[in-house]
């Protein structure tokens, strides 16, 4: 574990400053402002809606329609809880077993996006770090409106990465 980080270490989530100072543990691993992989939930939603449309085209009885709607609701709820639970488990594992290691920016890009009817500035960060002699590359996005008119970190800028394994890591 690398205990020292240079003063110019870039933090994707500025709330993690105290972690680098050794004052606190990682509290927010998968933050609400970070963009998560919502693809699986979207896929489940599309399949459920398509199934409902096909079912309704068969002109079901009211009892059949009610039963199918209840079933689709239960499946939807289970899918959302399952994917949310997996994220929570990963966060807990990373917090319990994670180590801070030094990495570096490979590429930083800012993008303007519309999110919930208003524009936001999203920082897209590609980074790399070494684990057991192997170089791993990661990618993360975070809404960072504060960087809209600022110079983004250049390639080689140090970053801090919380690492549990070669498949479970998160840039701070």
**Interatomic CA distance for residues 85 and 115, integer angstroms:** 24
Q: How many helices (H) and strands (E) does the chain have?
A: 3, 5
Same-domain status, 121 and 74: no
What DSSP character marks residue 10? B
**Interatomic CA distance for residues 91 and 88, integer angstroms:** 5
Residue 3 belongs to some domain of the structure: no
Task: Write the pLDDT tens digit of every residue in 102-121.
Answer: 999 999 999 998 867 788 99
Domain boundary among 50, 67, 92: 92
In this prediction the pTM is: 0.65
Residue 167 belongs to some domain of the structure: yes
What DSSP character marks residue 23? S
Cα 23 to Cα 2, 18, 73: the distances in Å are 15, 5, 44
Residue 2 belongs to some domain of the structure: no
- Name the token pair of 16: 């993690």
Same-domain status, 56 and 141: no
Same-domain status, 105 and 167: yes
- Using a 10 angstrom Cβ sphere, with 0-12 exposed, 13-18 middle and 19 or more buried, the burial of residue 19 is buried
Task: Write the pLDDT tens digit of every residue in 42-100.
Answer: 777 787 788 878 777 888 888 888 888 888 888 877 777 766 666 677 777 777 788 88
């Amino acid at each position: 574990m690398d205990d020292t980080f240079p003063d110019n270490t870039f933090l994707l989530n500025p709330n993690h400053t105290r972690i680098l100072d050794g004052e606190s543990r990682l509290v927010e691993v998968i933050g609400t402002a970070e963009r998560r992989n919502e693809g699986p939930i979207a896929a489940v939603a599309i399949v459920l809606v398509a199934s409902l449309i096909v079912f309704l085209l068969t002109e079901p009885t009211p009892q059949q329609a009610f039963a199918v709607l209840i079933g689709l609701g239960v499946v939807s709820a289970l899918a959302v809880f399952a994917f949310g639970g997996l994220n929570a488990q990963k966060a807990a594992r990373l917090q319990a077993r994670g180590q801070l290691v030094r990495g570096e920016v490979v590429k930083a890009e800012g993008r303007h996006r519309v999110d919930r009817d208003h524009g936001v500035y999203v920082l897209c960060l590609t980074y790399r770090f070494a684990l057991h002699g192997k170089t791993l590359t990661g990618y993360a996005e975070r809404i960072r409106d504060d960087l809209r008119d600022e110079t983004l970190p250049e390639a080689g800028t140090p970053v801090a990465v919380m690492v549990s394994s070669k498949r479970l890591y998160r840039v701070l």
